[in-house]
Amino acid sequence: MRLTYPTALVLQALLDGHHHGFDIMDATGLPSGTVYPILRRLDAEGCVRSRWEKEGQARKEQRPPRRYYELTTGGKTIALEARERTQAMAAAGKRLLRPAASES
């Protein structure tokens, strides 16, 4: 599966417990026009599944019920992998930067 940087961010947000489209936007800082197509693609590839929120909860908060996205087992594996990869990259980045930092 193609794992772009925004896709990795969305997976990360799902892993951190953000479940609604707009909450994922807030968590990732990505615009809605990016987040939604990513969610749809993840859905089509079986990485996430979506459900509708319970009526009761929504009514209690006086709003329409929202769609709820969560990672499947497979999705979780990919998300964790992605996290490791980004962390590794970050670590590599730091290593690369260190000599430069000490020179100055």
Partner 1 sequence: MTIVRLAAWLVPARLRHEWLLEWEAELASRRSPSLRSALGSFADAFWIRQREVADLQAIDDLRHGWRQLRQQAGFAVTAIAILSLSMAASVVAFSVVSQILERPLPYPDADRVVTVWQREVGAPGRAEVAPGNFVDWRARAQSFSQLAAGDPWSYDYTGTDRPEVWRAVNVSEGFFDAYGVAPMQGRFFRLDEHKKGNHQVVVLSARLWRSHFNADPAIVGRAIPLDAVSYVVVGVAPDDFQPRMLEDLPGDVKLWAPRFIAGYEAQSRGRGYWQVVGRLQDGVTFEAAQAEMDAISAQMETENPRTNKGVRAAIISIREHLVSDVRPAVALFTAAVFAVLLIACVNVTNLLLARGAARQHELAVRTALGASRRRVVGQLLVETLLLAAVASAIALVLAQASMRSLAGWGPREVLWIDSLRVDGSALVFAVILAAIVTVVAGLVPALRLSGAGLQQPGHRTMTGDAGQRRLRLGLVAVEVALALILVSGTGLLLKSFVNLLNVDTGFQQRGVAVLQIFAGDRNSGAAALQLFHDRVAEKIGQIPGVQAVGMVRAMPFLESNVDIRGAVRLLDQPPAEGADMSAISLNVVSPGYFQVMGVGLLRGRLIESRDGPNAPKVVVVSEAFADRHLRGVDPVGQRIEFRQFGRPTKAEIVGVVRALRHVKLDEAPRAEVLLPFAQHPVGSLTMVARTTVPPDTVIEPAKLGVWSIDPLQTFYRTATLDQLVERTLTTRRFALIVLTGFAALALLLAAAGLYGVLSAIVSQYRREIGVRMALGAGWTDILQLMVARGLSVAAVGVAVGLVAVLGGARVLQSFLFSVAPTDPIAIGGAALLMLAIAGVACYIPARRAASDDPVEALRVE
Can residue 64 be called a binding residue for partner 1 (CB under 8 A)? yes
- Position among 54, 59, 67, 98 found at the interface with partner 1 (CB under 8 A): 67
Please give the torsion angle defined by the CA atoms of residues 84, 24, 51 and 72, in that order, rounded to the nearest 10 degrees.
0
Q: Which stretch binds partner 1 (CB under 8 A): 4-12, 26-34, 73-81, 90-98?
A: 26-34
Is 56 an interacting residue with respect to partner 1 (CB under 8 A)?
no
The terminus-to-terminus CA distance of the chain in angstroms comes to 41
Among 36, 80, 83, 86, binds partner 1 (CB under 8 A): 36
Do 57 and 67 meet the contact criterion of CB atoms below 8 Å apart? no
Is residue 17 near partner 1 by the rule CB under 8 A? Answer: no
The residues that bridge with 67 in the sheet, in sequence order, are 52
